[in-house]
Amino acid sequence: MSPVSTITEKMTRHLVKWWRNSQVSHSNSLSRHRALIVLRQSPNWEDGTSILEGAEAYDRLIGRPIGFSRGFIELWNKTFVTTYFQVRQNLKEITLANFMAVKGADCVRLNELLEKPENADIILFSDDDDWFSPMIVKELEGVPTEIGGVTWPSVRYDGAFQLRKEIYCYTNNYAVLAPVQKDPRWVELYAQHGGADACFHQHAVVKAKRIGSLLSVTNKHPASTVTIEKMLAKTPGRDGLVQLVEEYVCRGMVNRPVPELQWCEPLAAQAVELFASLKTR
C-alpha cells in the first residue's frame, strides 16, 4: 500500500473534522486546559499557487535570498512526479494523526493563539512535520509548580535516529508551563524555538527543568527546507534531490528506534514509505 493511500481521503476528512472539533472544544471550555499543542506557521500545502506567491515573504522570514524557495520547489516538481506540495501535505497529515494520539492535549494554530492567547498547564509547540510521544502530557505532569519550562533530549530523524547531545531548545523538545504564561508576551517569546532557548538557557529568565525522557522527534526529511539547502550546496540540481531521497529511504529501511522511541516507529515507517514511492520524471 502506498503512503498516499495510507493517509486516505477518509482519514484526511477525519483529521480536518478532529482539528475543528478540537478548536471548538478548547475555545468553549471554561476550565483550564490540561495541555495545548500549538501548530506553528503551516500553509495549506494543497494550494501550491498561493505558496509560490508567498515564497518571497518566506525567504525573508528565514533569511534566504529572494528566489530560494521558489527555486527548489520548481526543481522538485521537475524532478519528481509527486509534487513538493503533495509530499508536504502528506507529511502534515501524518503529523496531525500523531497529534490526535497525544492523550490529554487539545490543539490550536499559532496565529489563532497570537490573536486570542489561552493558557494551559502544558504548552507544546511544533512544526507540521514533527512528532510527539502519545504519553508526553502524562510524562510532563507532576513537575514542581515553580518550574516555568521543561526541556528533554532532541531526537533527529533522517532515516536514522540521532540523539542530539546539545542542551538546546530545538523544534519541539521543550514545553512552556504555567508560571511563564503570566507574562503577556509569552506566546511571542516562546513560540519559536530560538526565542524559547534564549529565555530558558541564554538569559535564564525562566526556571527550567531538564528531563531525560525521549518525548519528541524532529523529522529532517528530504522535503525539509534546511535539508534540501544542505544537499543542493553539495550536489546541485536534480541529482542532489534524487540522492537526498534515496539516502533517506535506504537509512529508513534498516534503522529501528531504541525501545524508548517505539511510539514513533509507525510514523517513521509512513514517512519512509512516502519517499520510497516517489518516481522521477
- One-letter amino acid at 250 equals C
Residue 220 backbone class (left: φ over 0; alpha: ψ -120 to 50; beta: rest): beta
What Cα–Cα distance (Å) separates residue 77 from each residue in 43, 70, 243, 279, 280? Answer: 18, 11, 15, 11, 9
Burial level of 151, CB count in 10 A (0-12/13-18/19+)?
Answer: buried
Question: Which pLDDT tens digit goes with each residue over 173-207?
Answer: 999 999 999 999 999 999 999 999 999 999 988 99
Confidence tier at 53 by pLDDT (50, 70, 90): very high
Distance between CA atoms of residues 52 and 71, nearest Å: 10
Question: Which pLDDT tens digit goes with each residue over 1-46?
Answer: 444 444 445 445 455 555 555 554 554 544 567 999 999 989 999 9
Distance between CA atoms of residues 272 and 257, nearest Å: 14
CB 10 within 8 A of CB 274: no
Question: Where would I find the H helices in 45-178?
Answer: 48-53, 55-62, 68-79, 84-101, 110-115, 136-140
Asked if pLDDT for residue 269 goes beyond 60, the answer is: yes
What Cα–Cα distance (Å) separates residue 11 from each residue in 6, 25, 44, 136? Answer: 9, 21, 17, 24
Q: What phi, psi does 211 have (nearest 5°)?
A: -120, 165
Per-residue model confidence (pLDDT) at position 60: 95
Per-residue model confidence (pLDDT) at position 4: 45
User: The whole model's pTM is what?
Assistant: 0.89
- One-letter amino acid at 55 equals A
Question: Which pLDDT tens digit goes with each residue over 103-156?
Answer: 999 999 999 999 998 899 999 999 999 999 999 999 999 899 999 999 999 999
Q: Which residues pair with 124 in a beta bridge?
A: 37, 175
Q: Is the dihedral of CA 61, 194, 35, 97 positive or negative?
A: positive
Question: Which pLDDT tens digit goes with each residue over 205-221?
Answer: 899 999 999 999 999 99
Distance between CA atoms of residues 2 and 244, nearest Å: 20
Q: Which residues pair with 242 in a beta bridge?
A: none
Q: Which helix (H) or strand (E) holds 11?
A: helix 9-28
Q: Which residues pair with 188 in a beta bridge?
A: none
Distance between CA atoms of residues 193 and 175, nearest Å: 10
What Cα–Cα distance (Å) separates residue 36 from each residue in 92, 101, 150, 176, 251? Answer: 18, 13, 15, 10, 33
Determine the distance from the C-alpha atom of residue 94 to the mean position of all C-alpha atoms in its chain, rounded to a whole number.
Answer: 10
First to last CA, the chain: 21
Q: What phi, psi does 38 have (nearest 5°)?
A: -105, 115
